[in-house]
Amino acid sequence: MSATTPQLPAAVRTFTQQLSSTRRGARLAHLLTYEQLRIWQTPPDVTDRAEQIVAELAANAALHGRVQGRDFRLTLTHDPTASVLRIAVTDARGDRLPSPVTDIATPPDDESGRGLLLVTALADRWGTEPYPPSGKPAWAEVSHRPSSEVQPRPAR
C-alpha cells in the first residue's frame, strides 16, 4: 500500500501599498511590483507583462485619477495554484472612467494616449469597477503562459 502525503494548496499572496498620486508614486509602484514579483518568484513572462501593466495603470492614476491630497493604491494578488496575478490600481476619481480602447482617436505622433492599448495587449483580462463612495480600481489579470506561447522580447 502506498500512501501519499496530502499537499496543502499554495497560499494566495497579496501585496498592497498606498502611493502618492504623482509621477514619483507611479515610478515607485513599478519598482515595488518588480521587487515583490521577484520575491514571489513569479515566472518571467508574468513579471515582464505585469511590470508594464502597473507602469501604465499607475501613470493613469497619477495623471487622470488624481484628486489633490488623495493617494492611489496598488494591490497585487498572486494565486500560484491558478497561475494568475491580479493587479489593481485604485485611484480617487470614480467619475472618470477610461475610454473604450476600440475608440482610439490618438494621432500617430502623440506621445500619450496608448496606455490602455498596451494593457489590452499585455493582460489576459482587464477592466474597472466602481469603488464607493469615490474612486475606481483599474484591474488586470495576467496568467502564466507556457514558453511555447511566450513571444520573445526584443533586445533593449
pLDDT of residue 28: 97
Assign residue 84 the CATH number of its domain. 3.30.565.10
Q: Domain count for the chain, please give it.
A: 1
Distances (CA, A) of 28 to 10, 74, 87, 151, 152: 28, 10, 15, 27, 27
Which of the residue ranges 30-34, 56-60, 145-149 would you say has the lowest mean pLDDT? 145-149
pLDDT of residue 61: 87
Q: Per-residue pLDDT tens for 76-119?
A: 999 988 899 999 999 876 666 665 554 455 555 555 556 788 89
pLDDT reading at 135 higher than 70? yes
Is there a domain that residue 155 lies in? Answer: no
Is there a domain that residue 7 lies in? Answer: no
CA–CA separation, 109 and 1 (whole Å)? 70
Q: Which of 32-36, 69-73, 91-95, 107-111 has the highest mean predicted lDDT (pLDDT)?
A: 32-36
What is the distance, to the nearest Å, from the Cα of residue 126 to the centroid of all Cα atoms in its chain?
A: 9
